[in-house]
Structure 1
Amino acid sequence: MKVFSVFGITQSGKTTTIENIIKELKKRRYSVGSVKEIHYEEFAIDDEGSNTSRHKRAGAELVTARGYYETDILFPRRLSVEEILKFYQHDYVVLEGVTDSNVPKIITAHNIEEIEERLDRTVFAISGRVSNEINEYKGIPIISSITDIEKLVDLIEEKVFEKLPQFLEECCSSCGYSCNELTEKIIRGEAKREDCSISQSNIKLTINDNDIPMVPFVQNILYNSVIGVVKELQGYQKDHKIIVKIGE
């Protein structure tokens, strides 16, 4: 799953940019999901006094509202982006207004000042209203999502990669970088997605069909534990594929 974020000040062209990106990605036959960050403290999709609100107040840890045309699952807390993405199985997921996730980013802005306020080493493109004035800033292409959406999505296909895990630096960095640093280097063409040690693992853990990323230290513990038991069994052959299923 490839994930990127589009963020910028209100009325800078953020939603229009995302809308046009989604349309072009769909035109190219990709499956697309989206996540919208709402910067409003009083926001709640659940009205006070509604039946679902009463369920929540009574202590339900997860509430689902099923209508004729949509189903809404209500968590009584703020989920992290990593938790939210576990619900997605799409080719691309577009985050709107999300800045706290380790993913490539597109800034939308009115002017250079707004770009400067938000620019960091994970930004690979700029769009929005400023694209009417200039076509590049500090080596980063500025592309209109209205008049040149094909070029913008070409760049997305080039720069956005399978999402890296988000481990703390002290937990991993076995590739030589933190997860954030590796993201920056991949965007600048100084590293590859395959440089992540997690992607080179010879052991995979899934829980309820969700892949569970593991730092190399944990991989080694699990790998050595399984091999230590299985190699004592009749039929074991070194370097052959082993599958263990629990909870069928």
Structure 2
Amino acid sequence: MIPVFAIVGKTDSGKTTLLEKLVAELKKRGYRVGTVKHDIHGFEVDHPGKDSWRHAQAGADTVAISSPQKLALIKKVDHDLKPDELVGEYFQDVDIVLMEGYKRQDKPKIEVFRRELSPHPLCQPQELLFLASNDELEYGVPRFALEDIKSMVDFLEEKFLTARPTSETTLFVNGRSISLSSFAQRVIAGALLGIISALKGVGKPQRVHLWLRAEDRQEDDTSDR
């Protein structure tokens, strides 16, 4: 299961700055990082007159802007997507997701707390992963100085990222990493790659992510006894 954390705090507390520094340190350590900015007021990323804007104005529900270097997707939705919906749909190829905002969602939170902006944190201790603060507040949760980015990432790495896949074939069942022998890795990889390579339009797969949900199955009551 991909770890997801919400970075919260008062306006102008430095949420974006902290997120930028955490991303830079995580990338330095080799992790794949996804980020989300939550804006309850709405936003626009395509400008009037641009081709993508014209596509949307014509009625397209999903607009993609693609180049050899990057891809942007603009998709109409009918509700404010929750973190799990976003991660499940768009972030399955990363090791960790940091979200700026979502203070009302039930994800573990990293709060940027500055005493000059508020006498007490926004979140209750049970909601928090840790505080990033310029104040020596004792709040019953780990607290790091605002500039101590390495210690924050050390904390995230120790608690949530030590199970990062290191082998060519990795199996997770119900969020738990399952140890595989070299033989089992070769058998699973060989079988899957053989099936996938035979699919039309796939080409030569370099990296494969497969998510399988095994539904509960009841025995057929009409079977012989």
Q: Which range, TM-score by smaller chain?
A: 0.5 to 0.7
Provide the C-alpha distance between the structure 2 equivalents of 1:46 and 1:79, rounded to a whole number of angstroms.
Answer: 20
Corresponding letter in the other structure for 1:51: D
Question: Is 2:111–2:121's contact at 8 Å kept on the other side of the alignment?
Answer: no
How far apart, CA to CA, are the structure 2 residues paired with 1:210 and 1:60?
Answer: 29
1:119 aligns with 2:124: yes
Decide whether aligned partners of structure 1 residues 48 and 117 sit closer, same or farther in structure 2, where only a CA change above 3 A counts: same
d(CA) in 1 for partners of 2:109 and 2:212? 24
TM-align CA RMSD: 3.2
2:57 aligned partner: 57
Residue identity opposite 2:51 in structure 1: N
SS of 1:124's partner is: strand
Which amino acid is 1:13 matched to? G
Specify the alignment match of 1:157 in structure 2: 157
The percentage of aligned residue pairs carrying the same residue is 28
> Does 2:82 correspond to 1:80?
yes
Letter in 1 for 2:99: L
User: What are structure 1's unaligned runs of at least 5 residues?
Assistant: 163-196, 201-207, 233-248
The residue that corresponds to 1:36 in the other structure is 37
Q: What is the one-letter code of the residue matched to 2:25?
A: E
CA distance in 1, matches of 2:68, 2:161: 36
Query: What are the within-5 Å matches in structure 2 for residues 219-238 of structure 1?
Result: 219-220=215-216, 223-224=217-218, 228=220
Letter in 2 for 1:30: Y
Aligned residues: 175
| 1:160 CA drift (Å) | 4.2
**Is 1:93 aligned to 2:92, yes or no?**
no
SS at match of 1:113: coil
What TM-score, normalized to structure 2? 0.64
1:150 match: secondary structure = helix
Amino acid at match of 2:23: I
Q: Normalized against structure 1, the TM-score is what?
A: 0.59
Rounded Cα–Cα distance in structure 1 between residues aligned with 2:125 and 2:20? 24
C-alpha distance in structure 2 between counterparts of 1:7 and 1:211, whole Å: 33
8 A contact 1:6–1:107 mirrored in 2: yes
Shift of 1:210: 4.2
8 Å contact 1:36–1:95 — kept in the other structure? yes
* Distance change (3 Å), C-alpha of 1:61 and 1:92: same
5 Å-filtered alignment, 1:1-248, equals: 1-41=2-42, 43-67=43-67, 69-77=69-77, 78-85=80-87, 86-88=89-91, 89-111=93-115, 113=118, 115-127=120-132, 131-134=133-136, 136-146=137-147, 148-160=148-160, 199=175, 209-212=210-213, 219-220=215-216, 223-224=217-218, 228=220
Measure, in 2, the Cα distance between the counterparts of 1:114 and 1:25.
31
- Unpaired segments of 5 or more residues in structure 2? 163-172, 177-208
Residue type at the aligned position of 2:20: E
Residue identity opposite 1:4 in structure 2? F
